[in-house]
Amino acid sequence: MRATSLSLLRTATRCSQTRVAACPHQLAQCSARWSSSLTSTSSGTERKWSTPLAKMLGEAITTTGPISVAAYMRQCLTAPEGGYYTRQTSTGQDQFGTKGDFVTSPEISQVFGELIGIWLYAEWLAQGKQDKVQIIEVGPGRGTLMDDVLRTISSFKTFAKSIEAVYLIEASPHLQKQQAKLLVGTEELEKSEIGWAAPLKYVPGVKIQWCEDIRFVPKEETSTPFILAHEFFDALPIHVFQNVAQSSIPASSTIITPTGPIKPKHGVTAPKNTWHELVVSPASPYASAGTTVTTSSASDKGHEKPDFELTVSQTPTPHSLYLPKMSDRYKKLEETPDAIIEISPESFAYISDFAVRIGGGNAPSPKARQKPSAEPASFSKAQPSGAALILDYGPADTIPANTFRGIRSHQTVSPFTAPGLVDLSADVDFLALAETALNASPGVEIHGPVEQSFFLSTMGIKERAERLLKGAKDEDTRRRLEAGWKRLVDRGPNGMGKTYKAMAIVPFNKDSKVRRPVGFGGDIMS
Ligand code: SAH
């Protein structure tokens, strides 16, 4: 049983209800202000940046122009030098737990990972006990979830025997080492074709492999991939767009031209809304803390002055030209002035990859078949198999807006303070993930998203916790176990049961009989 203190149960998760939201009106007012934010102020003093990464980003932006939120987020989270996940902390303390910035479900209770292990086993049984199983986790953090999952799986001997390899997709070399310590028992890893490898401690003869991107994991037509993504998609970069009027000149205005004033005809300059990308630029050195980013959180740590601010790009960006056109859901908001949408193309790449591994890719078009080199070869699967389980926070069917936030020491802070020292995240657009997966593969179906409380309750969290409680060695352990599992399913503002969702990708069932996976309304089949 994992040793955690009671205080851990009071720590904040990443999906705190408070939001650091960019106010659309303020954004519009501060557009194109970036050019005045030079590295030295008018008084000649060097501009002070809060971190070396902020300085590097600030200087790059001053040279080349504002960057997208996605580029900012990627640098802040995974830049090799000074990225939030990739940096080596001076104390050796990682990002998780009471001493870190946030706590996640697997760190709160071992029951979480155990139930996910059982979910995988139930899917494996329901799909006819396939062999050549690959267990894949994206963004494994400390490795706690995978440890609980593999410990659980190792007690189902036939399932454990069917595992060919375990893959961990991890951007941080330091977290890779921490995961190895837990899952292998050593930090000594051998170099492999895709990254690093070591023998797994739970299943003899099986290797665990680390790499930085899921594209490196071998895709085989006969493999059965079981993929886990817990609090991974919320860390993937987002682009943010605001629907603003193309012309800010009111229809009744007079335009002064060299040949005299012109009164525009009614309707000619009527505002037409278009999507403008919100971009990141250095904050004005004269702005006081919080002038360009509003926060509903009184807990914004010390009201540190942000290094950067969001502005509305006045000209189209490469992403504003096509991303908001990708779905009818965005189109419907074109008539809503000031609407904001967040889109994560990197999430789409990951979810498409999951879907294709499970269900095979779309059949190549006749044109591509004639010219085989024109498009990458399609990956087909005679029999779709495997599953992906995505657990994260975000709305079930609406498009996230104003959800980009920073998390530091269990508090919500501006995402533009202390770049590299603050965790950044945004709500996951589950419906966009579902749409993308279905478009990527004809061989998959989607279940959910359902609330975490529903998923865990129907998986039997109460029964499993009660069994553990019976064996609890002392009152402290009892209280910790009890508070832990209840927090995972609590649907109130301090619980994780409602905001966190579960969604599954499973093989498309050609029979008319729908088989719901366990946790999504189905029963365990054997
Ligand atoms: N699943 C874990 C950790 C969540 S934090 C838990 O729930 O406790 C996000 C994890 O994703 C970290 O391990 C981080 O290093 C990793 N990560 C973030 N961005 C990534 C990227 N672009 N590619 C690979 N890993 C990434």
Residue whose tokens read 């999952």 = 149
Residue 456 counted as domain residue? no
Could you give the residue ranges of the DSSP H alpha helices within 452-492?
A: 452-458, 461-470, 475-489
The pick from 85, 87, 238 for probing ligand 1's pocket by mutation, whose C-beta has the most ligand atoms within 8 angstroms, reads 85
Q: Is any atom of ligand 1 closer than 6 Å to the C-beta of 273?
A: no
What distance in angstroms lies between residue 347's CA and the mean position of ligand 1's atoms?
Answer: 13
Structural domain boundaries, residue 354: 105-235+345-404+425-451+479-507
Is 231's C-beta closer than 6 angstroms to any atom of ligand 1?
yes
Q: How far is CA 135 from the centre of its chain?
A: 20
Regarding the beta carbon of 237 and ligand 1, being less than 6 Å apart is answered no
Regarding the beta carbon of 169 and ligand 1, being less than 6 Å apart is answered yes
Same domain, 483 and 389: yes
Considering only CA atoms, which of 340, 306, 276 is closest in space to residue 424?
A: 306
62 within domain boundaries: yes
Residues 492, 379 share a domain: yes
Closest ligand 1 atom to the C-alpha of 85?
15
Task: Check residue 406 and give its pLDDT.
Answer: 96
In a domain, 524, yes or no: no
Residue 96 near residue 107 (C-beta atoms within 8 A): yes
Is residue 285 located within the same domain as residue 332?
yes
Judged on CB neighbours under 10 Å (0-12, 13-18, 19+), 118 is buried
Q: Tell me if 194 is assigned to some domain.
A: yes
Instruction: Note whether 225 and 361 are same-domain residues.
Output: yes
Q: Which atom of ligand 1 is nearest to the CA of 229?
A: 1
| DSSP notation for 200-232 | -SSSTT-EEEEESSGGGS---TT-EEEEEEES-
Measured between alpha carbons, how far is 462 from 147 in angstroms, rounded to an integer?
Answer: 21
**Domain end position, chosen among 325, 343, 361:** 343
Q: Which atom of ligand 1 lies at the shortest distance from residue 74's CA?
A: 22
Q: How far apart are CA 197 and CA 116, in angstroms?
A: 24
Residue 353 and residue 268 in one domain? no
The answer to the question of residue 322 being in a domain is yes
Q: How confident is the chain (526 residues) per 10-residue block, as mean pLDDT?
A: 42 60 38 36 71 96 95 97 86 78 92 98 96 97 97 97 97 94 91 95 94 96 96 98 73 61 55 87 68 39 80 92 94 92 98 97 56 56 95 96 94 95 97 97 96 97 94 91 96 95 93 85 68
Residues 214 and 116 in one domain: yes
**How far is it, in rounded angstroms, from Cα 83 to Cα 315?**
29
One-letter amino acid identity for 373? Answer: S
- 282 plus 398 within the same structural domain: no
Whether residues 315 and 378 share a domain: the answer is no
- State both tokens at 41: 């102020």
On whether both 288 and 142 belong to a single domain, the answer is: no
- The residue among 236, 183, 509 whose CA lies nearest residue 390 is 236
- Counting from 1 in the atom list of ligand 1, the atom nearest the Cα of 237 is 22
Instruction: Tell me how far the alpha carbon of residue 325 lies from the centroid of ligand 1, in angstroms.
Output: 29
What is the model's pLDDT at position 525? 53
* Pair (395, 487) in one structural domain: yes
* Token output for 324: 């908001």
- Which pLDDT score is estimated for 43? 53
Q: How many CA atoms lie within 13 A of 326 on its CB side?
A: 17
Q: Are residues 221 and 359 in the same domain?
A: yes
Residue 255 has a pLDDT of 59
Specify whether 44 is located in the same domain as 135.
Answer: no
Pocket residue to mutate for ligand 1, from 101, 232, 354, most atoms within 8 A of Cβ: 232
Q: Which of 320, 343, 366 is the last residue of a domain?
A: 343
Q: How far is CA 112 from CA 116, 130, 452, in A?
A: 6, 25, 10
CB 455 within 8 A of CB 111: no
Q: State the pairing for strand pair 405-408/239-245.
A: unpaired
As for how many domains the chain has, the answer is 2
